[in-house]
Amino acid sequence: MAHNASSSSPTPRTGAPDAVILPAPTAWPIVLAFGITMLLAGLVTSASVSILGAILAVVAFVGWFRDVFPSEQHETVPVHADSAVVFTYRHHVERLAVAPELARAALPLETYPVSAGVKGGVAGGVAMAVLACLYGVIKQGSIWYPINLLAATFYTQSLYFGTTSLKAFHLNSFLLACGIHLVTCLLVGLLYGAMLPMFPRRPILLGGVIAPILWSGLLYSVMGLLNPLLDKKIDWWWFVASQFAFGIVAGLVVARQTRIRVHQVMPFVLRAGFEAPGLSGEKDEPR
């Protein structure tokens, strides 16, 4: 039932007002937008277009300002009262199945623990270090050559190393190289643990082939900027081989670890610990 629009007294049945006051509609905002558009379009077309746009913008500014000052323009909209009856045929709360029964579960359903990434990073780092030291002994005649070369990435004085110095033992370079190698291997191992579940059928394809190729290509393109000495002294064939060794060993170690079920298949309210009627079970203790 419609009521008089000029009245705003509540209806006796619902207690709601029979009319509401809303801001009056106005066309000035769209006129202002069109004027500014023409003003800017004239910068690349003609000055007359900018002049016309400026006129429209000024008129729209004035018109919009007069709609809200000194008093805002309003209009009264009648309210059609309608009583809504809320009812249900169900007398019990139904519980929704969670976890594997959800129809739209995000992938992956299982992932590796953090320890799997740490183990894979350490194992891959050992394989990579063995291959790098083997290169130093075979190609350069010194096991310290690849270690000093790795330290040259962050150790500024290594830029001034000569061939003889790179083959000698330096305690500071050794400690720095060990730190760089350990941190990098752990981070990449954790990355493998997070990404390998996305490739459940061929995990080694990502860890042992795709990732080493992408990583080696990235370093090859930026090594001249990061460290000129390393770019000049590095043997890229041995470097790529060591990357493949790391990727294959780390991928195998991570892939053989036991996976754990992720909690993302459960609704957020349950993961956050909120009470969710219909999802969480009944509590035995009295409220």
Query: Residue range 276-280: average pLDDT?
Result: 54
Confidence of residue 20 (pLDDT cuts 50, 70, 90): confident
Contact predicate 152/121, CB 8 Å: no
Fill in the DSSP letter of residue 209: I
Give the model confidence (pLDDT) of 69-112 as tens digits. 888 888 888 887 777 777 777 777 766 555 445 445 555 667 77
Structure-block tokens of residue 48? 């007359």
Higher pLDDT, 108 or 36: 36
Pick the closest to residue 108 from 204, 213, 193 (CA basis): 193
User: Which pLDDT tens digit goes with each residue over 129-163?
Assistant: 888 888 888 888 888 888 887 777 676 544 445 55
Q: What is the pLDDT of residues 22-35, one digit of tens each?
A: 888 888 999 999 99
Residue 283 pLDDT more than 50?
Answer: yes
Give Cβ neighbours of residue 134 (< 8 Å, ≥ 6 apart).
none
Residue 173: what pLDDT?
81
Nearest to 180 by CA among 203, 146, 210: 146
Please tell me the pTM assigned to this model.
0.49
Give me 183's structure tokens: 């941190």
Picking from 264, 143, 277, 145, the residue whose alpha carbon sits closest to that of residue 197 is 264
CA dist., res. 135 & res. 144, Å (int): 10
Judged against a pLDDT cut of 80, whether residue 40 lies above it is answered with yes
pLDDT reported for residue 7:
44
DSSP 107-164: SPSEE--HHHHHHHHHHHHHHHHHHHHHHIIIIIS-THHHHHHHHTTT-GGGGG--HH
Q: Are 101 and 265 in contact (CB under 8 A)?
A: no
Q: Which residue has the higher pLDDT, 268 or 59?
A: 59
Query: Which among 155-164, 201-210, 244-253 has the top mean pLDDT?
Result: 244-253
